């Protein structure tokens, strides 16, 4: 599945395959392997978390997370995920929108929501510093 990320005021000029979901993920992982990144932008923790979510794909496909999808949209998207992917899907072929869903359900399964709220409250205190880091991250993801 090829996806293009568009949203939240980010204008992406269509420049071929370099802006597909697959290319962005592969570029991010390559930057981590080569050390060609700012540790503030790409962190090893993000890479590890994506791998954790990818390892859980068979469990998502086998219905082990079904009961955790409580909103109608979540239920519908989880069913779409099951239809669109197999247990052998590569890490870079999963659409970002599904990684967000997998993250949400995986956090529920392991009761990580409380910890995430605590982190979000601490992030709010950072204000402009965080905005700059997010800005640098997005620039690196799309334009390097």
The answer to the question of residue 1 being in a domain is: no
Q: What is the total count of domains within the chain?
A: 1
* pLDDT(10) > 50: no
Please write the tens of the pLDDT for every residue from 98-137. 988 999 999 888 887 655 555 555 555 555 555 555 555 5
With 0-12 CB in 10 A as exposed, 13-18 as middle and 19+ as buried, what is 61?
A: middle
Say if residue 143's pLDDT is above 50. no
Q: Is residue 10 included in any domain, yes or no?
A: no
Is 82 contained in some domain?
A: yes
Full residue range of the structural domain in which residue 85 is found: 17-143
pTM over 0.75: no
Q: What is the pLDDT of residues 44-93, one digit of tens each?
A: 777 888 888 999 999 999 999 999 999 999 999 999 999 999 999 999 99
- Whether residue 6 is contained in a domain is answered as no
69 inside domain: yes
Residue 80: closest CA among 140, 18, 3, 144: 3
* CB within 8 Å of 13: residues ≥ 6 apart: none
Interhelix angle 72-84/96-109, rounded to 10 degrees, is 120
Confidence of residue 22 (pLDDT cuts 50, 70, 90): confident
Domain annotation covers residue 74: yes
Q: Is residue 108 part of a domain?
A: yes
Within a domain: residue 4?
no
Give how far Cα 144 sits from Cα of 13, 69, 123, 136, 138, Å: 14, 36, 26, 11, 10
Q: Which two tokens stand for residue 18?
A: 């370099």
């Amino acid at each position: 599945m090829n996806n293009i990320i568009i949203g939240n005021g980010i204008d992406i000029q269509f420049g071929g395959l370099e802006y597909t979901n697959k290319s962005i993920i592969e570029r991010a992982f390559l930057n981590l392997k080569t050390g060609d990144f700012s540790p503030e932008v790409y962190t090893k923790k993000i890479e590890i978390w994506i791998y954790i979510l990818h390892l859980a794909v068979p469990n998502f496909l086998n219905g082990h997370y079904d009961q955790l999808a409580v909103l109608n949209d979540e239920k519908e998207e989880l069913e779409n995920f099951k239809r669109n992917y197999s247990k052998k899907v590569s890490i870079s072929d999963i659409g970002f929108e599904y990684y967000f869903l997998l993250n949400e359900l995986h956090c529920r399964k392991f009761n990580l929501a409380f910890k995430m709220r605590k982190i979000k409250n601490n992030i709010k205190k950072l204000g402009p510093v965080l905005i700059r880091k997010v800005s640098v991250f997005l620039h690196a993801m799309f334009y390097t």
